[in-house]
Structure formats: structure tokens, C-alpha cells
A and B are shown apart, each in its own frame.
Chain A
Amino acid sequence: GESVGLHLPTLSVQEGDNSIINCAYSNSASDYFIWYKQESGKGPQFIIDIRSNMDKRQGQRVTVLLNKTVKHLSLQIAATQPGDSAVYFCAIQAGTYKYIFGTGTRLKVLA
């Protein structure tokens, strides 16, 4: 079956520093990847996505990098702020009708 893993369960970062959250996936046929942010008691919130025909995509303060060779996805957050504290999930689209989520990384921003 499909699996999506994350390298670290918790990441602590000083406010103002850059954060990098990593994700590995198993299915080389996956062609659509999404990062979600989940704050306590809330639903996953879309951050940024990337398709397999790209290796990098930038948003506001966030960048997603995709390395299809090693099946690795990362989310970079520039100048991390306290409001970035949350659990971050990568998700891959496994077929048209299904997204598989990773286990999540909790990002803690230290003042």
C-alpha cells in the first residue's frame, strides 16, 4: 500500500530562522503533492502544492522542493514566526480520488 513518512516528529526553530520539514513517499507514480498546516483543534489548511513536472515551487515565505529521484519532498518556511507553530503534513494524491497523509511534524517556534 501507499505510505508517506516524515523524518522528524518534532522540529524546534528559533523565531526568525528558516524551517525545513521533510517528507518521504514510496510510490514513484505519485504526481501531485501538497503540504498542509494543522493548528490545534482545526482542520488541515492548504499551504502549497507541487506537481511532479516541477522540482520547486515558491509561495509567500514557503517553498516546496520535490526530488523524484529519491522520492523526497520538503517544505521550507523562511523567517519562521510564532504563528507558524503547528503540525505540518505532507499529502500525496494516490489516484484521482484519494490523498494519503504523512504522520506529521510538529513545528515549535521558540521566541
Chain B
Amino acid sequence: EPEVTQTPSHQVTQMGQEVILRCVPISNHLYFYWYRQILGQKVEFLVSFYNNEISEKSEIFDDQFSVERPDGSNFTLKIRSTKLEDSAMYFCASARAEAFFGQGTRLTVV
């Protein structure tokens, strides 16, 4: 069964460093998303991507964040100059109709 895969599963980074979270969406999907979930809280929308451009983003997704689909398969989330409060689970999702989520990357900023 096709699935969304995310790497790494866990990333620890120093405050102020840049991180890149990687996702391989399901191959025939057209819409791509990043969500985050702070421990014990709900899943929050960050950004959606369609037709090689950002289609919508939340107020969380400020200039610190960027997304890219560098080739036909990968979809990345870059966080520049990480802050302690960026520590969370980051989920990638892709959709053709309903959205399917990856297993997440746990980002810990120390």
C-alpha cells in the first residue's frame, strides 16, 4: 500500500541552526501539506503546496519557514534559525482526495 514517508524520524538541533525535514509523498498525489503537532496538542496546519507553489499558509508559517519540491518526488520543509518553540512533531501529508499523513519527524531544538 502506498504511503507517505518522512525522514529523519527524529532530529535534534541546536537553537539557531537550520533544519530540513524531508518527505516523499504518494506518487500520484497532487496536493502536499506540512502540519505540526506540539506535544499533547492538536495538529496544526502550516502550509499547502500545489502545482509547484504554495497555495495556502498559516500565520505560523513565517519567513523562518520555506518549502520546496526540488524534484518529482521529494517535498521538503526548511526551518531557518530554529527556536526552542519549534520543537514539535512535523507531519507531511499528500492528497489526491483525502489526505494521507506520514509518520512524522520529531524535531527537538535544544
Contact = CB atoms under 8 A, between A and B. Distances in A.
Among A43, A97, A101, chain B packs the most CB atoms within 10 A around the CB of: A43
A41 to B, nearest CB: 8
* Interface of B: prevailing SS: strand
Contacts of A38: 43
Contacts, number: 52
Interface of A: 34, 36, 38, 42-46, 49, 89, 91, 95-104
Given A100-B45, A101-B45, 9 more contacts: A42-B103, A43-B4, A43-B101, A89-B43, A96-B31, A98-B56, A99-B45, A101-B42, A103-B42
Interface of B: 4, 31, 33, 35, 41-45, 48, 50, 55-56, 91, 93, 98-104
17 contacts: A38-B43, A42-B104, A44-B43, A46-B99, A89-B42, A89-B43, A91-B43, A95-B56, A96-B31, A96-B50, A96-B55, A97-B33, A97-B55, A97-B56, A101-B42, A101-B44, A103-B41
